[in-house]
Amino acid sequence: MIYEVCIIGGGLAGSEAALWLAGQGVAVRLVEQKPLHRSPAHQQDGFAELVCSNSLKAERLDSAAGLLKAEMRLLGSSLLPVADACRVAAGGALAVDREAFSAGVGALLEAHPLITIEHRQADAIPDDGLTLVATGPLTDGPLAGAIEALAGGGTLSFYDAAAPIVTAASLDMDRVFAASRYDRGDADYLNCPFDKAGYEAFHAALLEAEIAPLHDFDRPLTVYEGCMPVEVMARRGADTLRYGPMRPVGLRDPRTGHRPWANVQLRRENAEGTLYNLVGFQTNLKFGEQQRVFGMIPGLVHAEFARYGVMHRNTFLDSPKLLVDGFALKARPDVFFAGQITGFEGYMESAACGLLAARALLARLAGSVYTPPPPKTMCGALSRYVTAENADFQPMGANMGLLPPLAQPEKNKRERYRKLAERGLAAMQDWISEEV
């Protein structure tokens, strides 16, 4: 029996989902606004456009990006073979000729007999049938309004000012301590205490650090106090940070018995406690500068950044509140979402989300229950991240810090990553075997 699914958006997630579903015998109506309308970020008229870099990141298995791609190949990705066919030299990364990549994906979509392409701007979500919304991080206008009407007001974030996230395994626990202010409640925060000299050196480095340029479509009309970049606050005066996000009030450094001169708090980012957020450290510094300057924070000298701080135009759902495990909207279960609008951050992450949402859609059509991949897999860890409770949700890309720790700790990072990847790939193979 042939079912029909409507997919809105022909980016990486929508294209991957359309091709996988069509390959399973499902008729797909793919709605894509280009070439009739482009967002400010798009330059091409084709499908699966790579807007910024042409790199799909590392291929080696002992990396988060490599593990994700290996899992996607097991899941039946259609986009990765296209990428393989139009790759360009990039060392250990998979980089592509972006025009050839877009053309290759478009050729697959246009040639498939079960895919009907409609070039028009969607301004509403169909009232009946199953719909997958994969419109990307620049969703706006009537469609954004339609999404908010379905999910509830204030459910879309239109500007992303995110603080960095570091892995718990990379912290120097001899330099940090767990405590809450005035010993109220549980010791949920990790604290990085500065003495006066250390703070002054950190403040000076922050003032001199290089800022990343913003595209015109990324520029906010106003920078709100609640998401003020830490480097902007630093320019307001030597003590601004000490009385702001780095205030030490209510804390005692157990090593000295005194209140720190300044303090950076790290908040648990996921339920497993493998990732920590630098509280109040929204930033627009270049990534290399973040590693250099934030590495001066006590306990972070060897920090592994699971996500760097960013400030850019972004539209994404508050997915933990709105979506179930299969990326369907709680308020309207016949509407699914995929790609960066869910909080899967990155090219391959977006495509992987399209593959997972397509499987969830097929399960719904077949009357079965979709179970996401296990959290030991990168796909499963990302799925869990965007659906598990998170009071301060921000988009996330593939990183090893999302995965549960090994049963036997491994200090060597390369060896730890290799073991995590091998475990994840085996778990994905088992999950696919059980699904068949």
What's the pLDDT tens digit per position in 343-374? 998 999 999 999 999 999 999 999 999 999 99
**Residue 13: pLDDT above 50?**
yes
Residue 355: which of 4, 5, 7, 13 has the closest Cα? 13
The angle, 0 to 180 degrees and rounded to 10, between the axes of the packed helices 12-23 and 98-111 is 30
Where in 197-296 does DSSP place strands (E)?
Answer: 262-268, 275-278
Residue located via tokens 């009907």: 116
Range with the largest mean pLDDT of 106-110, 161-165, 217-221: 106-110
Give 316's pLDDT tier (boundaries 50, 70, 90). confident
CA separation for the pair 288, 210 (Å, rounded): 9
Residue located via tokens 């307001």: 236
CA separation for the pair 31, 246 (Å, rounded): 48
Residues in contact with 433: Cβ distance below 8 Å, sequence separation at least 6, in sequence order: none
CA separation for the pair 287, 308 (Å, rounded): 6
Residue 200 pLDDT: 97
Residue 342: which of 5, 3, 6, 12 has the closest Cα? 12
Domains of the chain by start residue, with CATH: 4-158+313-435 (3.50.50.60), 165-308 (2.40.30)
Q: What is the mean pLDDT of the chain?
A: 89
Residue 39 pLDDT: 64
Looking at per-residue confidence, does 188 or 231 come out higher? 231
Looking at per-residue confidence, does 328 or 189 come out higher? 328
Contact call for residues 43 and 52 (beta carbons, < 8 A): no
**How many CA atoms, within 13 angstroms, populate the side-chain half-sphere of residue 315?**
18
AA letter at 407: A
CA distances from 262 to 196, 244, 249 (A): 8, 10, 9
**What are the φ/ψ torsions at residue 209 (nearest 5 degrees)?**
-70, 150
With b for 16 or more beta-carbon neighbours within 10 A and e for fewer, the 259-288 pattern comes to ebbbbbbbbebbebebbbbbebbbbbbbee
Helix extents (H) in 59-111:
64-75, 79-85, 98-111
The DSSP secondary-structure symbol of 39 reads -
Give 215's pLDDT tier (boundaries 50, 70, 90). low
Looking at per-residue confidence, does 262 or 50 come out higher? 262
Q: Lowest mean pLDDT: which of 145-159, 272-286, 297-311?
A: 145-159
**Residue 184: pLDDT above 90?**
no
Q: What is the mean pLDDT of residues 7-17?
A: 97
Q: What is the mean pLDDT of residues 395-402?
A: 93
Query: pLDDT tens-digit profile of 60-86?
Result: 999 999 999 999 999 999 999 999 999
**Residue 218: pLDDT above 70?**
no
Query: pLDDT tens-digit profile of 232-262?
Result: 899 999 999 999 999 999 899 999 999 999 9
**Residue 222: pLDDT above 90?**
no
- What share of the chain in percent tops pLDDT 90? 67
Residue 157 pLDDT: 66
β-pairing verdict for 93-96 and 55-58: antiparallel
Q: What is the mean pLDDT of residues 314-331?
A: 91
How big is the chain, counted in residues?
A: 436
Q: Bin 191: left if φ > 0, else alpha if -120 < ψ < 50, else beta.
A: beta
Residue 230: which of 186, 181, 174, 296 has the closest Cα? 296
In degrees, rounded to 5, the angle at the alpha carbon of residue 197 between the alpha carbons of residues 193 and 203 is: 80
CA separation for the pair 304, 300 (Å, rounded): 8
CA separation for the pair 246, 340 (Å, rounded): 31
Query: Strand order in 55-58's β-sheet?
Result: 55-58, 93-96, 87-88
Residue 56, both tokens: 């799909």
